[in-house]
Structure 1
Amino acid sequence: MTAPSLILLGQGGRDPRVAQICQTLCGQVRELRPGLDVQVAFTDNPPTALQMINKLVEHGVTEVVLTPLSLSDAFSSSEDLAQLLTAIRAAHPGLQVVASQPVGPDPRLLGVVDRRLRDELRRRRVDDLDGLVFLADGHHDPRSHAIIARRARLWSTHHKLPTVIAFGGDHGPSAAEAVRSLLAQGRRHVAVGSWYLGPTDDFREQAQLAAEAGALAVSAPLGAEPELVESIISRYVVSAMDLVDLEPLLTEQQPVRHLTAVSA
């Protein structure tokens, strides 16, 4: 049997670079798992997840794993995702579809934040820091905020620098408020590490406000990096196993489906 298809669910948005990052990640997963059917869908742009699944079902696909490319949502139980799964199942009653955990907040991604920030510090010729801001894409789930805060503390401990967390959107405190709070403590060399996948409108606004508030550097979003590909595959493997039919094992001792095709 073939492995379940994988749909990477990205945000999309007005900036084409955001969608391109999702497409690049899709290509990288295909390179590492050439036997795996990998597609991209978006929440804000076509093709939507339902449009992509319609095409897959037309080609005979019966099992699908959705992997959200969200960095600040730590759970696959958000209301929007639940509604999406309900709509998909209503449209295709015979389809088995599950949502994996989002790629974030995988702690491996902190290494990407560091690389991006080092690049920006070199570009701006900054070689001394005494304060950091961890800027995360905002999310309404307080549990996700708590996990992001733990990632920020881990990042702060690693660098041995005082760190203030900031959130995009209206989830606050903003990047500018975080920068000003460090400056008010007597810090003079503050930089911002960005926990965003791509240059969304919200990221660009937060980055500009942070710079205006006195940040010496704001790192670029993570983009398509190997750590993200590893996280995608890990999330997929765990959820694909949820689709495995164990009944043959209990009755006829037949091999479990999918495992050789999706092993990490």
Structure 2
Amino acid sequence: MTPPLIAVAHGSRDPRSARVVTAAVAAIRAHRPGLDVRLCFLDLTAPSVDQVVDAVAAEGHSAAVVVPLLLGSAFHARVDLPGILAAARRRHPQLTLTQSDVLGHDHRLVGAVRDRVVATGVGVDDGAAGVVLAAVGSSDARANERTRDLASVLAAGTHWAGATACFATAAEPSVAGAVSHLRSRGVERIVIAPWFLAPGRLTDRLGRAALDAAPDAILADTIGAHRHVAHVAIDRYDAASTAARRARLSA
């Protein structure tokens, strides 16, 4: 029996977030027809991880692959979710739960952000445009540095006047600082490109701050149900499934 894919999203009080994540998971199903794909959330939104894992176990599955729909490997991926899964393994010793890598800083997802920028009407050949890659921010300085590096990846192959990262929390620069940096380089058009899977309170906060700093700023959509999300999620599922199968054979 092919293991189900349990897609785990962050969760939000904002109903837009669940709608967008649900659409992204529908795209995963469409990309791999016949695969049992189930969505759950770490917090604030139902169903919970526990509820979905319990349902998978009750249906008699012997294995499942848990794919975190997260863009960074921080607390939720390294501490929170592993703790939830450890408790689930104790409840269901007959069920093998394998956690895959996060979606992470995959260049295909950066390409998805580039597509969102282009969808605003700012072409890749627009030499007067500058792009701010807006991320949540982390207490891990190395994680923030990796996010900063993505700005140059985002701009690769374009003629934009510049690209830089900013953070909503825990790190600098702020969106206002990033906008000021681009203005100092002569950038005329500012695009805010969210490094977020789905909209919510943080993306709204970033948008308001961007418009305060640059009233003519253009706000791109979140990554959402872009086809690359499905491609990366299935790749993470396949890699984790293969690793789990090899581990069983070598045991």
For residue 168 of structure 1, report the CA deviation from its aligned partner: 2.0
Match status 1:72 vs 2:62: no
CA distance in 1, matches of 2:22, 2:218: 28
- Name the structure 2 match of 1:230: 231
For residue 155 of structure 1, report the CA deviation from its aligned partner: 1.7
Match status 1:81 vs 2:81: yes
Q: TM-score, structure 1 length as denominator?
A: 0.83
Match status 1:201 vs 2:201: yes
Identity rate, percent:
28
- Name the structure 2 match of 1:170: 170
Tell me the matched-pair count: 245
With over 3 angstroms needed to count, the CA separation of the structure-2 counterparts of 1:175 and 1:89, relative to structure 1, is: same
Please report the RMSD computed on the Cα atoms of aligned residues, expressed in angstroms: 2.4
For residue 37 of structure 1, report the CA deviation from its aligned partner: 1.2
CA contact (8 A) 2:132 2:163 kept: yes
- Name the structure 2 match of 1:159: 158
CA contact (8 A) 1:73 1:105 kept: no
CA contact (8 A) 1:11 1:43 kept: yes
Q: TM-score, structure 2 length as denominator?
A: 0.87
Q: Structure 2 regions of 5+ residues with no counterpart? A: none
Look at both structures and tell me which one has the larger radius of gyration over its CA atoms: 1
CA distance in 2, matches of 1:21, 1:224: 7
For residue 186 of structure 1, report the CA deviation from its aligned partner: 4.1
CA distance in 1, matches of 2:101, 2:142: 14
- Name the structure 2 match of 1:131: 130
CA contact (8 A) 2:99 2:240 kept: yes
- Name the structure 2 match of 1:220: 221
With over 3 angstroms needed to count, the CA separation of the structure-2 counterparts of 1:247 and 1:191, relative to structure 1, is: closer
CA contact (8 A) 1:75 1:144 kept: no
CA distance in 1, matches of 2:60, 2:32: 20
Q: Structure 1 regions of 5+ residues with no counterpart? A: 251-264
CA distance in 1, matches of 2:191, 2:248: 55
CA distance in 2, matches of 1:22, 1:134: 20
